[in-house]
Structure 1
Amino acid sequence: MSEDFYDILGVSRDADEDEIQQAYRKKAAEYHPDVSDDPDAEEKFKQAKKAKEVLTDEEKRQAYDQLGHERFEEAEKRGGFDQGPGGMGGQGPFGGMGGQGPFGGGAGGGQGFGSVEDIFEQFFGGAGGGRGGGSRRRQGSDLRTSLEIDLEEAYHGVEKQMTVERPTECDECGGEGHPADAEARTCPECDGRGQVRQVQQTPFGRVQQTGTCQRCAGDGEIYDETCSECRGEGIVREETTLSVEIPAGIQDGQTLRMEREGAPSPTQGPNGDLLIDVTIADHPEFEREGDDLHYHKGLSFPQVVFGDTVTIPTIDGEVELEIPAGTQSGEEFRLAGEGMPRLRRRGEGDLYVTAQVVTPESLTEEQQEALEAFAEAGGEEIEVDQSFLQKIKSSF
């Protein structure tokens, strides 16, 4: 698969955000690890997601187009770049005043960029880049909830409706946190930049860090009046009903991710994701172990002595099982393909049936006489196969 983000999604370099989102949804549906049989599905899914995240972020996309794939990836991996000695005329592409190598910057040396976001701001944002100069679109926070299903639903897969309480944009102020006619003034904390810089002295020298201004939340402006509905937060909590697709074969404790169904961004960026922890309720008949199921079948003494054909329930119906003559209590039989669907592979697990001889609690006079005759004919000594005894011991 090509490394170029545009090629990964199969869109042109002038594609708009809607085209990119639509292309990503197609790739996600094709390569999602829960549904794809492609051995490289997980990696392709991650590449498509990364491509979408970069190309739908205006500043990152501009940086990607200007730097190219390799430089962009290198910048993100490094996260920060130390500057070389001070002086005029930095070397290499984008060498600033006194900086060495790629992305060296800053007059007279000093510290390097704190993160890759600072690179974007330096080259493509700057003081005039949007309201407050330092404001960037950030993804909202992820939310987490839980959902319980039964074993039958995990076997077949199911669509569940669930109600989630999550923060959402305030309708009263449109997410701004203040009335439309509120008077704005420059934030005194960040002087309108939307960001504040702090310098700390460490054993390795002075370290400069850049962070979002907490007073104005990166806007660069504050207002003389706040919204009465959201109290200036721009966000209120509301209940939302979502349709959740549970894939067949899901395991107890696995987590589903619903993209963009989390908390909204405080900076007009994309929503976070909703994480759903799935638990599977205990079943009255079956015990699950991975993709396999276990079932205990009660059998009478005559059935195990003479053999019999018995009906065994499965999640998807019933099957017949031949019980051979002389079956011992605790013996296990395997029914191939009668277990749970495999989540990321084709086929199903197996159903293991354990024979359990049931001792009657009461007998008729005729039954008692027959058993007494059987005991007298066979004597009191009972020989037990050693391999069977080993099975019994291992079960404890």
Structure 2
Amino acid sequence: MAKRDYYEILGVDKSATAAEIKKAYRKMAIKYHPDKNPGDAEAEAKFKEAAEAYEVLSNPDKKAKYDQFGHQAFDGSGGFGGGSMNMDDIFSQFGDIFGGAFGGGGFSGFGGGFGGGQRRVKGSNLRIRVKLTLEEIANGVEKKVKVKRKVQAPGTTYKTCSTCHGTGQVTRITNTILGRMQTASACNACGGSGQIIDKKPDEADAHGLIVKEETVSIKIPAGVVDGMQLKVSGKGNEAPGNGVAGDLLVAITEEKHATLQREGDNLHYDLYVSLPDAVLGNSKEIDTVTGKVRIKIEPGVQSGKILRLRGKGIPSINGYGKGDLLVHVNVWTPKTLNKEQKAFFEAMRADEHFEPKPESSDKSFFEKVKDMFS
């Protein structure tokens, strides 16, 4: 099923400010929160849907990518992953949104670390850069990369934190002129996880983690652009205890092609033809992202003519078809001639066939540029 528009889900338009987006999400989250709708699967689904929309629209970089590419910018690696979200992920990332909306104590029963539930700490994210050729970008590719990430050391055991008694937070009561005020914050003893190290091997760090090299498979969709960032969930550093692993953030770098230049979804190719080929016509082999193809050069072709090969460009990241390959014809004029060649062209100076006679179909440079971008 196609995903709904994130702006539609939160009931805001694209010009909404960060504060308006946050306010709209808070309203949706309170309305569909599982504590208010126990056993209601539809409400839970809408709660997750709103959380996914806010996770993207509240992040300036993700919001910019979504505005440009839509859901395709995150498919297979971005957002929360739709139906795979769990309540722990949502509450751990958006706890500050809800504040005291549910009796001042937050939420209960979903491991969010509010109202007595145990908080699940998330491990840190890792970042890598992956270089792709134009051919890989055009066809999509699966890359296997080696990543050094922190994982729980074998033999490490944890026990309930005695400071927070496993809740992951400590409560403080302060007397003010307005009366007694209760505040809650993450437990310093366990870092908010609710657990502390019981036993660990010597090679593990203070959190019971070791560094391990792992091969990670990354599926990269066709049509990605230079600078785009993909996310592989759960392949960052693990968290101690019952925490959830961070994510692996993959930045895309596009390698320069020897003969093709990319412009959005279109590709450009400079084709140089000799003067005899331009006069008599010929066929030429050129590069594309799917291999070499042979194109026909019509007799009398003019320098600057653009041949459009439809569908030979880059697939749209939004799934709207493919771009084109624009072949720019450049007639190569010889710089040196022998006596016989020079005599031939001297004789042709006055020949009417060599007189420039542009027709209405022979467009100017500016008209060609206009056509190229239309």
Equivalent in 113, 129, 139 of residue 156 of structure 1:
139
CA deviation after TM superposition for structure 1 residue 148, in Å = 0.4
Query: What is the aligned residue count?
Result: 306
Distance 1:163 1:9 in 2: 37
Report the 3-state secondary structure (helix = DSSP H, G, I; strand = E; otherwise coil) of the residue aligned with 2:85: helix
The change in CA–CA distance for 1:156 and 1:286 in structure 2 (over 3 A counts) is: same
Whether the 8 Å contact between 2:156 and 2:200 is mirrored in structure 1 is: no
CA deviation after TM superposition for structure 1 residue 247, in Å = 2.3
Equivalent in 218, 223, 228 of residue 244 of structure 1:
218
Alignment-mate amino acid for residue 53 of structure 1: M
Report the 3-state secondary structure (helix = DSSP H, G, I; strand = E; otherwise coil) of the residue aligned with 1:137: coil
Partner of 1:335: 309
The change in CA–CA distance for 1:387 and 1:51 in structure 2 (over 3 A counts) is: closer
2:185 counterpart of 1:211:
yes
Report the 3-state secondary structure (helix = DSSP H, G, I; strand = E; otherwise coil) of the residue aligned with 2:150: strand
CA deviation after TM superposition for structure 1 residue 326, in Å = 3.6
Partner of 2:297: 323
Partner of 1:171: 154
Q: Deviations over 1:313-335 (max 9, x none)?
A: 32223333333344332221111
The change in CA–CA distance for 1:192 and 1:377 in structure 2 (over 3 A counts) is: closer
Distance 1:233 1:354 in 2: 60
Distance 2:216 2:185 in 1: 34
Q: Deviations over 1:333-380 (max 9, x none)?
A: 111111123333263221100011212233333222212222244699
Equivalent in 132, 139, 162 of residue 122 of structure 2:
139
Q: Deviations over 1:280-316 (max 9, x none)?
A: 1000010111221110000112333343333333222
For structure 2, the residue ranges without an aligned partner over 5 or more in a row are 5-31, 33-38, 46-69
CA deviation after TM superposition for structure 1 residue 223, in Å = 6.7
Q: Deviations over 1:180-239 (max 9, x none)?
A: 9xxx9834xx5775423467999x999754222122223567679875322322222222
Larger C-alpha radius of gyration, 1 or 2? 1
Whether the 8 Å contact between 2:269 and 2:327 is mirrored in structure 1 is: yes
2:316 counterpart of 1:297:
no
Partner of 2:327: 353
Equivalent in 162, 169, 191 of residue 186 of structure 1:
162
Equivalent in 256, 260, 275 of residue 286 of structure 1:
260
Matches within 5 A, 1:31-46: none
Distance 2:228 2:74 in 1: 19
Distance 1:380 1:123 in 2: 83
Distance 1:200 1:278 in 2: 50
Alignment-mate amino acid for residue 124 of structure 2: S
Partner of 2:249: 275
Distance 2:96 2:216 in 1: 36
Q: Greater shift after overlay, 214-223 or 231-240?
A: 214-223
Distance 2:272 2:43 in 1: 56
Q: Greater shift after overlay, 311-320 or 289-298?
A: 311-320
Whether the 8 Å contact between 1:59 and 1:120 is mirrored in structure 2 is: no
Distance 1:224 1:59 in 2: 28
Report the 3-state secondary structure (helix = DSSP H, G, I; strand = E; otherwise coil) of the residue aligned with 1:217: coil
Alignment-mate amino acid for residue 54 of structure 1: N
Alignment-mate amino acid for residue 367 of structure 1: Q
Q: Deviations over 1:226-280 (max 9, x none)?
A: 7532232222222211122222333222222212111212341322221111111
- Calculate the TM-score normalised by the size of structure 1: 0.61
Partner of 1:52: 84
Partner of 1:81: 100
Matches within 5 A, 1:228-239: 228-239=202-213
Distance 1:382 1:173 in 2: 84
Distance 1:250 1:43 in 2: 10
The change in CA–CA distance for 1:120 and 1:329 in structure 2 (over 3 A counts) is: same
> Share of identical aligned residues, percent?
32
Whether the 8 Å contact between 1:328 and 1:355 is mirrored in structure 2 is: yes
Report the 3-state secondary structure (helix = DSSP H, G, I; strand = E; otherwise coil) of the residue aligned with 2:121: coil
Alignment-mate amino acid for residue 98 of structure 2: G
Alignment-mate amino acid for residue 334 of structure 1: R
Alignment-mate amino acid for residue 303 of structure 1: D
Alignment-mate amino acid for residue 84 of structure 2: K
Alignment-mate amino acid for residue 119 of structure 1: F
Distance 1:320 1:58 in 2: 53
Distance 2:335 2:280 in 1: 21
Q: Say what the alpha-carbon RMSD is for the aligned residues.
A: 4.8
Report the 3-state secondary structure (helix = DSSP H, G, I; strand = E; otherwise coil) of the residue aligned with 2:322: coil
For structure 1, the residue ranges without an aligned partner over 5 or more in a row are 11-38, 61-74, 83-102, 105-111
Equivalent in 332, 338, 342 of residue 368 of structure 1:
342
Alignment-mate amino acid for residue 160 of structure 1: K
Whether the 8 Å contact between 1:311 and 1:320 is mirrored in structure 2 is: yes
Equivalent in 103, 107, 124 of residue 119 of structure 1:
107
